[in-house]
Structure 1
Amino acid sequence: MARMVHGIMELIDQEHEGVRWVIMGDDDSIFFLENLVDVLGKYDHNKYYYFGGQSEYILSNFWYSFNQGFGGAGIIMSFPLAKALAQDMESCLRRYPHLRSADLITMTCIVDLGGSFIPLKGLHQIDLHGDISGFLSSHPKEPLISLHHFDAVSPIFPSMDRIQSTKHLMKAAKFDNSRILQQIICHHRLSNWTFSVSWGYSVHIYEKIMPRSHLIKPIETFDTWSGRPQNPPFYMFNTRSHVKDSCETPHIFYLKSIGGAQNKNEIMATYSRSVVRKLQGCPIDGNHSANYVNKIQVYSPRKKRAEMGRCECCDIIHTTGSNKAQVKLRECFTNEKIA
């Protein structure tokens, strides 16, 4: 572990000109560079900054520290901080010979230099197992910066292996880094349907009107990282139970293709149904089954979003009985409620 920490010293010794930030990740970490550059551009690189991603699994943070970045998600330091850390590294390793985790050593040494950990919600350690589609379909309203541990989870797209799935997601990211995995929610009132779009990944249709406050909680399709504790909490975020309820279980569509639309200022992404839901329609009065819908086209502006202060909204175009629905993204109106 100390050898990994020494890598910071070796990097600083190379004396690269114009370096503003030092970023460390694992060899199986995926970074979304445009988003990374945009996020870091909001901070003064001349000051001490230490960013990172926490583990999704609450016990991993307890075992190591709630105040450290996990290296798989990515650890980011401003260059002045990295330089100070490199100069103090030998002394710090002597102060803490009992520490065996490179991430914990890095955090401890930075704290002794006066720095503090700032978590970024777009950095993902993915300390999860199994099907993480529920997690990816309710991404926080922050730019996606990294994904880790793809070798420990199921392929994120049906009928694809892990490598194919990763390339498929990155194809969408090439069209628009700023929107990748961003959750956009809107309603088709005539059918009492709720659409939840995870841009570039999936679309969910629920057969009742659901508020955004409920849908931002991921469906717990995944398992804990290291055994399941007897009692919750298990994760660093709230979840929804993965239940077989016709009003709570969504119809799920995954990204099939993405490209330019007829309108040159738009991107069109097509999502196709993964499997038939095999549930009766939601029995609430006025609801209509969405079983016959098998394709959803999502239109988004080609121009990337410059600010994440508020989520986007959308409109649904659908004719009853048609197997296709269209979703058009737009900025939310003043005081518009997503509920």
Structure 2
Amino acid sequence: MAHKINIYKTQNSRLAEFDPHNIGFGKIFTDHMFVADYDGKNWTDLRIEPYSQIQLSPATSALHYGQAIFEGMKAFSASGEVWLFRPKENWKRLNTSAKRMVMPELPEDIFMQGLTALVDIDRQWVPGTDGSSLYIRPFMFATDEHVGVRPSEKYKFIIFCCPVGPYYNNPLRVKVEEHYSRSAPGGTGFAKCSGNYGGSLFATKKAQEEGFDQVLWTDPVTHEFVEETGTTNFFAVIGKNIVTPDLSENLLAGITRDSAIKLLNHMGYEVEERPLSILELKKEFHNGNLKELFITGTAATLINLVGFGHNHHFFDVMAQGDTSISSSLKSLLDGIRYGQSEDVFGWMQKVEQELGEPA
């Protein structure tokens, strides 16, 4: 179903100030955003308007009771065109989060039409430099002006975009977390809701103060099994086997994780999705079988781990292993996204030029 989207283009574009060779991550925003409002029954007032601040009442429900969810996705420049990577998977995951947080689901046609129209209008913001992309942030939050714990009746959905470079520039050192937990059985670990990230910041800050880059979260019951890092899914190459923790209600089902598994299978590797303990990682490290550690995520794409810290000892995996599998995987994934390799799974969706100027 085609929806009417009102277009209000900016009269003061900031594009001339944009330097694609100096963009960092998450600090520069494109000229427009897509907005839709939920009135308790339907999504209404679909519009693209200039990127700007939003006015909120101090009593806005999301600010007090945490009904807020989001997604992260990317668009890429290839062969003079703009392409989205697996956008419908983000739409599905957004609605999975919405259901868990008692929020309204967003119809696929509204999500996709709003997304493609926004990226089309701002297509000149999609950087073409090596390793760069347009990071896209869809999010939804409760807007009732009400003090009291109950699901909101009204919501706002927004998509905005950031031209970005690499999220991480170097391999990471991670600390195995054995005290704090990111999620719990029956909780919201599988949902991409804002509170999950706020709750992770304290342990992450402590790890960084100890010289680590990120936290490697373990299961909340025994703290013996690997789950994920703060923003990514975890993979280990053990001998000739590639292992990643199996999905559970505690873990976010990463779209890059799923893509990595499919590509590794395509490359001829089998990926074991199973419980993976810290004890097993340490044992295989001492046996010389722990060859590579890497993590995957939309922002990070794929980045290697130098190693992991546990019980005041650092296990330097990179010093005794190599990065041959992860490097080949990243090259293939990047090749598909930037139009340099065959899109064997049909993941890339072209954004037709209808509203915006040529990139």
- Give TM-score scaled by structure 1 length: 0.30
- Give TM-score scaled by structure 2 length: 0.29
Comparing both chains, which one has the higher relative contact order based on Cα–Cα distances under 8 Å and sequence gaps of 6 or more? Answer: 2
More strand by share: 2
